[in-house]
């Protein structure tokens, strides 16, 4: 919402969700037309070995970078949870983001990622979904209680902003599940295209409304001060948000193994013919998670990670490749609705990918790097320059005191 402009952001969110729904069904239709049961084999049969290699790189990079982003979130959120415990020294190394990332990796994400059957993560996914609903309630509550006390930036309500393409990248990151769609499809009882379509329609509708509630409540609360990680905007002494941070950290830890499954499957398909012995299964899982963990220890700004992963990996996986495969495989007439939509998605995906990458590099999101926001301090102060770079807004925040957060 911050990058696109609030009204345009809502419209883009609906549009990206529709494209995601359409392309997920299109992907499985392509698999049915080609007689393949993985994303890689579909592209291999459609575009040959070169297409197979390109997809393999994208299909590995997206979940791998997602694993890095989940580690960043877990480290940022859970460190603030433990810093909020009375009597705990905020500078204690054992509650720092680096230690928490390492600890959560060894105790939770690595053991869960060692499962060989993705269906075993069903209960874990259910817990994650329940926690997401709880977090949404907390964000909505704080939009009501905290939002009126935070100054609104001058450009808060403009219809559109120049960085809208970057917003599409972030939204693509949020909605994409194409890289593990065949894994989930194969885990269904009696999988069919019709059954898959019903599942996708229901899932996308639920997801888009959750995203809209999160985006609306978060943006209405913080407007132009919104960070790439929304929980970075809240103050550390807010007990309700601290509980939300804990739920959020648990949610991303439980989501992490889904991405690891895909990276491992890509490696297995490219280098081992699709089958891994128990030893190689363990070794590859440990290696992938170790590298992802090391990278996440070096990066603490989530926004740029989401944008680059969205425009470089998620966009081709959502917009370009499913459409290209279907157009080549389908024998439907050119006027068929699926073909028309595919022809529209291809060039749009290319534009988002190229311009989104350029804009993400030239106009990176602001990042607090874990620092408290200005409105978290109870003392009066004058805030100036709060427009683009927050111009001409002077606000006295004498009413913003600790009682808001209790």
Can you read off the two tokens belonging to residue 166?
């970057």
How many Å apart are CA 356 and CA 1, to the nearest integer? Answer: 15
| Model confidence at 366: pLDDT above 80 | no
| Model confidence at 404: pLDDT above 80 | no
Residue 389, pLDDT score: 39
Residue among 45, 42, 121, 117 nearest 317 (CA)? 42
| Model confidence at 392: pLDDT above 70 | no
| Model confidence at 232: pLDDT above 90 | no
Say which residue, 239 or 399, is predicted with more confidence. Answer: 239
- Convert the pLDDT of each residue in 177-190 to its tens digit: 888 898 889 888 88
The CATH class, in words, for 6-391 is mainly alpha
Q: Which residues lie below 8 Å from residue 383, measured CB to CB, with a gap of 6+?
A: 151, 374, 390, 393, 394, 395, 397
- Convert the pLDDT of each residue in 295-333 to its tens digit: 999 887 777 888 888 888 989 999 999 999 999 998 888
| Domains of the chain by residue range | 6-391
The enclosing H or E element of 262 equals: helix 239-271
Residue 125, pLDDT score: 82
Question: Which residues on adjacent β-strands are paired with residue 382?
Answer: 396
When mean pLDDT is compared across 62-66, 82-86, 98-102, the lowest value belongs to: 82-86
Residue 11, pLDDT score: 96
- Convert the pLDDT of each residue in 132-174 to its tens digit: 999 999 999 999 999 998 989 988 999 999 889 889 988 988 8
Can you read off the two tokens belonging to residue 38?
């993985």
Global pTM value = 0.80
- Convert the pLDDT of each residue in 11-55 to its tens digit: 999 999 999 999 999 999 999 999 998 888 999 999 999 999 999
- Convert the pLDDT of each residue in 241-297 to its tens digit: 999 999 999 999 988 998 999 899 899 988 988 788 999 999 999 999 999 999 999
CB contact at 8 A, 171 and 12? yes
CB contact at 8 A, 241 and 142? yes
In three-state secondary structure terms, 35 is coil
Residue 204, pLDDT score: 95
Residue 369, pLDDT score: 62
How many Å apart are CA 225 and CA 137, to the nearest integer? Answer: 21
Can you read off the two tokens belonging to residue 205?
């509708």
Residue 207, pLDDT score: 92
| Model confidence at 208: pLDDT above 60 | yes
CB contact at 8 A, 16 and 4? no
CA angle 366, 109, 211 (to 5 degrees): 45
How many Å apart are CA 222 and CA 146, to the nearest integer? Answer: 9
| Model confidence at 348: pLDDT above 80 | yes
Tell me the average pLDDT across 79-90. 82
Task: Enumerate the H helices of 272-336 as residue ranges.
Answer: 278-298, 302-309, 315, 321-329
- Residue 2 DSSP symbol: T
């Amino acid at each position: 919402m911050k990058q696109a402009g609030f009204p345009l952001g809502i419209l883009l969110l609906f549009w990206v969700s529709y494209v995601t729904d359409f392309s997920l069904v299109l992907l499985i239709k392509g698999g049915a037309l080609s007689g393949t049961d993985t994303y890689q084999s579909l592209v291999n049969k459609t575009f040959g070995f070169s297409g197979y290699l390109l997809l393999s790189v994208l299909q590995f990079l997206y979940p791998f970078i997602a694993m890095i982003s989940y580690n960043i979130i877990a480290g940022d959120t859970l460190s603030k949870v433990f810093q909020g415990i009375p009597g705990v020294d905020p500078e204690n190394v054992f509650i720092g983001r680096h230690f928490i990332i390492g600890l959560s990796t060894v105790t939770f994400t690595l053991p869960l990622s060692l499962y060989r059957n993705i269906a075993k993560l069903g209960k874990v996914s259910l817990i994650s979904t329940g926690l997401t609903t709880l977090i949404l309630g907390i964000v909505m509550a704080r939009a009501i209680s905290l939002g009126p006390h935070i100054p609104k930036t001058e450009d808060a309500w403009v219809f559109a902003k120049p960085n809208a393409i970057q917003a599409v990248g972030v939204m693509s990151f949020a909605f994409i599940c194409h890289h593990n769609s065949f894994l989930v499809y194969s885990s269904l009882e009696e999988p069919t295209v019709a059954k898959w379509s019903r599942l996708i329609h229901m899932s996308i509708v639920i997801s888009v409304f959750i995203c809209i509630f999160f985006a609306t409540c978060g943006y209405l609360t913080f407007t132009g001060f919104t960070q790439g990680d929304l929980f970075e905007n809240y103050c550390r002494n807010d007990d309700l948000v601290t509980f939300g941070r804990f739920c959020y950290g648990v949610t991303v830890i439980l989501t992490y193994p889904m991405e690891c499954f895909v990276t491992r499957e890509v490696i297995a398909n490219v280098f081992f013919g699709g089958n891994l012995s128990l030893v190689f299964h363990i070794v590859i899982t440990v290696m992938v998670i170790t590298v992802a963990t090391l990278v996440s220890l070096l990066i603490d700004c989530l926004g740029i990670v989401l944008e680059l992963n969205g425009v470089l990996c998620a966009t081709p996986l959502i917009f370009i490749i499913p459409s290209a495969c279907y157009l080549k495989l389908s024998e439907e007439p050119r006027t068929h609705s699926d073909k028309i939509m595919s022809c529209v998605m291809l060039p749009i995906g290319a534009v988002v990918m190229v311009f989104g990458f350029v804009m993400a590099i030239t106009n990176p999101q602001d990042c607090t790097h874990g620092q408290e926001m200005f409105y978290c301090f109870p003392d009066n102060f004058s805030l100036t320059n709060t427009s683009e770079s927050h111009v001409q807004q002077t606000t006295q925040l004498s009413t913003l005191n600790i009682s808001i957060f209790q």
